[in-house]
Amino acid sequence: MKENIIFGAVLIPEKLIYRQPNLKIPEEHYVKFSAETIRKIWVNFHKENREKNVSINHNGENISGVELVDSFLIDKDNRDSLSIEFKDLPIGTWMAKYRIVNEDVWRMIEQKELNGFSIEGIFDLVKIEE
């Protein structure tokens, strides 16, 4: 099978993320995470060995053939090694690189049916007034 690599930001500090209504918040809303919170999520992700927990659109079904190759937080020491399209991301951004050997998943990426990373989790929410 052909190997393909994808690389991008998983969580960006202070970036507003649109969320649809859910059981906790019945209206459309946005969430954001501080660099400190992202670090805690990243540490916990690896501590709990969640590297192989990959699903499509949070459907709860782990898929095979998608392997985490690298996972790191941007800091002042590694920022210069990033390609130009990522150099403006803030310190504390969680980056990930995956090897895709699942042909169906790669086809979905090529056809732009999949276009980003998302992390699953249950988080405490703090309302921030505008």
Mean pLDDT of 78-90: 94
What is the pLDDT at residue 7? 95
Spans of all domains in the chain: 4-110
What is the pLDDT at residue 76? 94
> Residues of the chain with pLDDT > 90: what percent?
72
User: What confidence tens digit (pLDDT) does each residue in 1-52 have?
Assistant: 566 999 999 999 999 999 889 888 899 999 999 999 999 999 999 999 999 8
- 22, two tokens: 């859910």
What is the pLDDT at residue 1? 57
Dist. CA 70–CA 94, nearest whole Å: 11
Q: H/E/C letters for each residue in 81-120?
A: HCCHHHCCCCCCCEEEEEEECCHHHHHHHHCCCCCCCCCC
Mean pLDDT of 105-119: 91
User: Over the Cα atoms of the chain, what is R_g?
Assistant: 16
Backbone φ, ψ for residue 4 (5° rounding): -135, 145
Dist. CA 105–CA 66, nearest whole Å: 8
What is the pLDDT at residue 130? 64
What band does 86 get if pLDDT is binned at 50, 70 and 90?
very high
